[in-house]
Structure 1
Amino acid sequence: MNLQGKKILLGVCGSIAAYKAALVVRLLVKAHAEVKVIMTEAAKDFITPLTLSVLSKNPVSSQFANEDGTWNNHVELGFWADVMVIAPATAKALSRCATGHCDDLLTAVYLSARCPVFFAPAMDLDMYQHPSTRQNIANLLSFGNYLIHPGAGELASGLSGEGRLAEPESIVSQLNAFFSRQTVAAGKRVLITAGPTVEALDPVRFISNRSSGKMGYAIADAFAAAGAQVTVISGPTAVKASMENVNVVNVNSADEMLDAAQGHFDQSDLVIFAAAVADYKPAHRAVQKIKKSEEMMSLELTRTPDIAATLGKQKKQGQLIIGFALETENELEHARRKLTAKNFDYVILNSLNDPGAGFIHDTNKITVIDRNENVRHFSLKPKDEVALDILNIVLEKWSEA
């Protein structure tokens, strides 16, 4: 267990799932972590502070001032923790933290925390799926926080669906994995290409594709959170890195992306080619905007540089290279060819035949193939979770070394 000696701050909100907080505390203490608990006033309707105090072996805080006049310093609590976990996190708690509505001790500590913060939502399925809740979660993730996805099943309302608080074992396991990743990935240099490239036809028009850059940036955030030094060579995209320690180099064309990647390649321990690079570019770029004239227009195209193949030939001993393959037919066959032709260690296959996978979506479904022809299939899941799957594969490889 990587939780030994870690200082963990658990925030408990007013939800029927609050009873699971006792199990979370028990498992953390059993893993030899030091645990302090903050409860909202509403949480006391579902579980007593005494229960959590006995299990954590520390006083439970719920207000700025205790009955005996002592002060719960929210700044000190925020500085104390190695990680903060809010479980269960209600819709109200998500909203207050996302908007900075600081009206109790828990939100004050959250705003003061300098450590990573995990949110484990618990609510009814319609509340969880409501656009306001989804936006609040998106905002929290954009701040660099982490989401422990709720489970699906029977809910307190009698309905069945997504919204159940993740099981205590899963919450503790994800925290353990977080600290494990930090140990293995610390100091590793990771280079990622992300987003589309655009190839200018004239000063107004260009050739490109539908890539949003979401997958590449999710991977960047995952590795940065694990302690790696991450550089992203990014084509034009509205997506931003959530982690502040991600270095982003903005480019437009395939030629620019190759030049930028070349400058970082030799120093990189891991290279992930997640960008959707345009395969062709106009043979001649017009200086002025092309005017409409004839009914038909012919456009001469020429190949863009194959960034992955070019850098794959320069691979050094000890480097890992991962590429993506987006296919629409004979997916596994084409992915295996790319794995060999471009000297990848792993190829990550996306199929546009899988609903919810590929460009634009917030979800993805991947199949990972390694040089030994081992194939791992993963289910459809949010791209931040897909990024963690990719991270864990790399960490396994690094751990073996």
Structure 2
Amino acid sequence: MATQSANRLAGRRILLGISAGIAAYKSAQLARLLKQAGCEVRVVMTEGAQAFITPLTLQALTGEPVRTSLLDPEAEAGMGHIELARWADIILIAPATADLMARLAQGMADDLLTTLCLASEAEKVMAPAMNQAMWRHVATQRNAERLAQDGWRLLGPDSGDQACGDVGPGRMLEPEAIAAELLTAPGKGQAAAQGLHIVITAGPTREPLDPVRYLSNHSSGKMGFALAAAAAELGAKVSLISGPVSLPTPAGVTRIEVETALQMHEASQQLAGECDIFIGCAAVADYRAETAAEHKIKKREGEETLTLRLIKNPDIIAAVADRRDAAGGRPFVVGFAAETRDLEAYARDKLERKRLDMIVANDVSTAGLGFGADDNAALLMWRDGQGEGGESLPPQPKLELARAVLRQALSRLAEHPVH
């Protein structure tokens, strides 16, 4: 891993942006680690960042002058901010405050750092850092989602004790963790899934009872859409079979919209024979009405109950996993298990019973995680010719969790190709 890390970053030109958060003191160690990995590092600081750490400290660590102003006459005599934007291979902002995230999400260019971000075609990464309430605020979550859609890769934040005395998500990842992410993740032009076709199901299904009512569940589709975005980042051809949700389609993803479990089953079977990885993330209704009423079911006087006859829907993920002798072969199959108790036992049973290659298990009873939330945690389990394995992923933004799930799936696929 160390050799791969050096190859990944050696000679890369990293523009380290530092905004006004107490975590700015960690940026000095981050700059040092990047230099040790063989990077060229130049630093841009916002005005507020200089209240937490001095430009002289970063200059000593990088051996380069630190830029702090968009209107520096000496630098701008040669269009310095444009040259700096063209120079960078990677723009890394650590820490990225809530204010900076908001300005970038709106496309503002009101200081040197935001201007460079708009003017550069470099790979863009940020490590958010803020109070836990600020991170959880709906506006910050909306900005984080928008930035991810715009191509930013968000690392963290971590959870734990904060400088303000609060405890929760919002801590900037430690410099070692940020450096490790940069060292191991494929960058621009280094697509780990190039040439692979990944099919993902997402969202709920709706099973009609009559023209105005249906059976469904609380799935928002966020996890499946995060997986699709992460797969596209890695260079894969991505087909997203989505139930009825209002989320925008991630860039580079082909979306197939369905409503019922039968429609999702049909679309899955059509694509399963031509894909390399199939991820069943959708919350598919287990049952549907035996017969949907032609007209709205009316309340009847004197009747206190209503009896519905339900029949089983097809098991989509099991059907894909059972395609061993089908034309086109069988993809690597990843299932999801949303549980409220006995997470590991139920996940292992589903992994074995449905003959999956890997399963992602979520405890959806945990507040702030799972259905409808922006964060999630998971237990990964897999089985292959070498036996069983597993990995526990702590609470984190769903896009980061999606990247971790795909890294493990691609690793398992590379070691034990299905086709």
2:356 aligned counterpart, secondary structure: coil
- 2:291 paired residue among 280, 284, 297: 284
* C-alpha contact (below 8 Å) 1:184/1:399 kept by paired residues: no
- 1:301 paired residue among 271, 296, 310: 310
* C-alpha contact (below 8 Å) 1:125/1:163 kept by paired residues: yes
Unmatched tracts of structure 1, length 5 or more: none
Name the TM-score, length of structure 1 as normaliser. 0.87
More divergent stretch after superposition (166-175 vs 378-387): 378-387
Alignment partner, residue 25 of structure 2: 19
Shift of 1:345: 0.4
* C-alpha contact (below 8 Å) 1:184/1:398 kept by paired residues: no
Determine the C-alpha separation between the residues in 1 that align with 2:299 and 2:36: 73
Alignment partner, residue 248 of structure 2: 240
Structure 1 pair 206–370 and aligned structure 2 pair: CA distance change class (3 A)? same
Unmatched tracts of structure 2, length 5 or more: none
Shift of 1:246: 1.8
- 1:189 paired residue among 184, 197, 213: 197
More divergent stretch after superposition (96-105 vs 49-58): 49-58
Structure 1 pair 329–16 and aligned structure 2 pair: CA distance change class (3 A)? closer
- Spell out the pairing of 1:322-337 with structure 2 (5 A cutoff): 322-328=334-340, 331-337=343-349
1:391 aligned counterpart, secondary structure: helix
More divergent stretch after superposition (317-326 vs 224-233): 317-326
1:10 equivalenced with 2:16 (yes/no) = yes
Alignment partner, residue 363 of structure 1: 375
Query: For each residue in 1:255-277, what CA deviation from the matched residue of structure 2 results, as whole angstroms up to 9, or x when unmatched?
Result: 21122222322221111101111
Alignment partner, residue 175 of structure 1: 182
Structure 1 pair 255–381 and aligned structure 2 pair: CA distance change class (3 A)? same
* C-alpha contact (below 8 Å) 1:272/1:322 kept by paired residues: yes
Which amino acid counterpart does residue 13 of structure 1 have in structure 2?
Answer: S
Which amino acid counterpart does residue 19 of structure 2 have in structure 1?
Answer: C
2:217 aligned counterpart, secondary structure: coil
Which amino acid counterpart does residue 245 of structure 2 have in structure 1?
Answer: T
2:185 aligned counterpart, secondary structure: helix
Alignment partner, residue 120 of structure 2: 113
* C-alpha contact (below 8 Å) 2:207/2:261 kept by paired residues: yes
1:66 equivalenced with 2:81 (yes/no) = no
More divergent stretch after superposition (144-153 vs 24-33): 144-153
Shift of 1:192: 0.5
1:247 aligned counterpart, secondary structure: strand
Query: For each residue in 1:228-257, what CA deviation from the matched residue of structure 2 results, as whole angstroms up to 9, or x when unmatched?
Result: 22211000112334x411221111111211
- 2:224 paired residue among 216, 219, 227: 216
1:262 equivalenced with 2:266 (yes/no) = no
* C-alpha contact (below 8 Å) 2:15/2:41 kept by paired residues: yes
Determine the C-alpha separation between the residues in 2 that align with 1:332 and 1:290: 41
* C-alpha contact (below 8 Å) 2:156/2:396 kept by paired residues: no
Name the TM-score, length of structure 2 as normaliser. 0.84
Alignment partner, residue 408 of structure 2: 393
* C-alpha contact (below 8 Å) 2:280/2:336 kept by paired residues: yes
Query: For each residue in 1:341-393, what CA deviation from the matched residue of structure 2 results, as whole angstroms up to 9, or x when unmatched?
Result: 32210122233454444422333332222223334333343323322331221
Alignment partner, residue 358 of structure 2: 346
Provide the aligned length of Structure 1 versus Structure 2.
400
* C-alpha contact (below 8 Å) 2:149/2:251 kept by paired residues: no
Determine the C-alpha separation between the residues in 2 that align with 1:334 and 1:22: 45
* C-alpha contact (below 8 Å) 1:15/1:90 kept by paired residues: yes
Shift of 1:74: 4.1
Shift of 1:22: 2.6
Determine the C-alpha separation between the residues in 2 that align with 1:326 and 1:215: 12
Determine the C-alpha separation between the residues in 1 that align with 2:103 and 2:201: 35
Structure 1 pair 211–99 and aligned structure 2 pair: CA distance change class (3 A)? same
More divergent stretch after superposition (96-105 vs 188-197): 96-105
Alignment partner, residue 312 of structure 1: 321
Structure 1 pair 400–133 and aligned structure 2 pair: CA distance change class (3 A)? same
Determine the C-alpha separation between the residues in 2 that align with 1:164 and 1:6: 27
Which amino acid counterpart does residue 219 of structure 2 have in structure 1?
Answer: S
When the two chains are superposed, the root-mean-square deviation of aligned CA atoms in Å is 2.9
Alignment partner, residue 374 of structure 1: 389
* C-alpha contact (below 8 Å) 2:156/2:397 kept by paired residues: no
1:240 aligned counterpart, secondary structure: coil
More divergent stretch after superposition (85-94 vs 36-45): 36-45
More divergent stretch after superposition (34-43 vs 251-260): 34-43
2:388 aligned counterpart, secondary structure: coil
* C-alpha contact (below 8 Å) 2:85/2:116 kept by paired residues: yes
Query: For each residue in 1:135-160, what CA deviation from the matched residue of structure 2 results, as whole angstroms up to 9, or x when unmatched?
Result: 43344334332222244555555666
